[in-house]
Amino acid sequence: TYFFALSPHALIMNPTLNLRTHIFSPKTLEKVMLREKPVVPPDSVIKTFGNLKGDRIDLILTQDGEGLCQGSFIVKNGEWAKFFLDTWFDPLYRSYNFQKAEAHALEHIVQWHPTILTKLALIPHRLLNTYNVDIASRGGKDNLYKEGDFVVRLVGCETDPKRSCEDEFEEFYVRLKKGKVG
């Protein structure tokens, strides 16, 4: 079984999509995994492995122009998932004072702990995590939501005083209710 973590500032826009066939079947994962890609863009010397098999993956993430995206990820339930989550939220990493808190803690453990990197699949951003606003540093228009995408994330709505998460949710919720999805 799998655990799908979703940001509270995100909405599943295509609820008919079967995640098993869309993302986490080993066969599908092997087709969509980003191989030999810098873990932290644009030029991290640590890259995803090129020879991983889909049945060996326990953590599925996307990345944008700023780094790994923890707003929407999938982890395979089991002992490794417990290890991963315990490591990520270990008080030692919490006390490091990373600039972007858990995001940089995640990037650190993925890059510098091979036990985690060997279980990671980076997949194209659009498969699991699109945005409702055009943010150049996060990939710009390439990462904007399009009809049929699985998830839209209202990235930054909670930190920008000029934006309203509720109003932005309403726009997408109305589209979802009208059936303008998938």
Check: CB of residue 52 under 8 Å from CB of residue 121.
Answer: yes
Quote the pLDDT of residue 72: 94
Per residue in 51-74, pLDDT tens? Answer: 999 999 999 999 998 889 999 999
Query: What are the b/e assignments for 38-76, b being 16+ CB within 10 Å?
Result: bbbeeeeeeebbeebebeebbbbbbbbeebbbbbbbbbb
Statement: residue 33 has pLDDT above 60: yes
Give the pLDDT mean for 123-136: 90
pLDDT of residue 102: 78
| Pairing outcome for strands 151-153 and 130-131 | parallel
pLDDT of 128 reads 94
CA distance 103 to 73: 12
Kindly state the average pLDDT of the residues 125-145.
87
How many whole angstroms separate alpha carbon 115 and alpha carbon 124?
22
For residue 17, how far is the Cα from the chain centroid? 17
Identify which has the larger pLDDT, 92 or 38: 38
Instruction: Give the integer Cα–Cα distance in Å for 164 and 133.
Output: 12
Is the model's pLDDT at 182 over the cut of 70? no
Please tell me the distance from the alpha carbon of residue 53 to that of residue 40, in angstroms, as a whole number: 21
d(CA 122, CA 37): 8
Q: In this model, does residue 98 exceed pLDDT 80?
A: no
- Structure confidence at residue 99 (pLDDT): 67
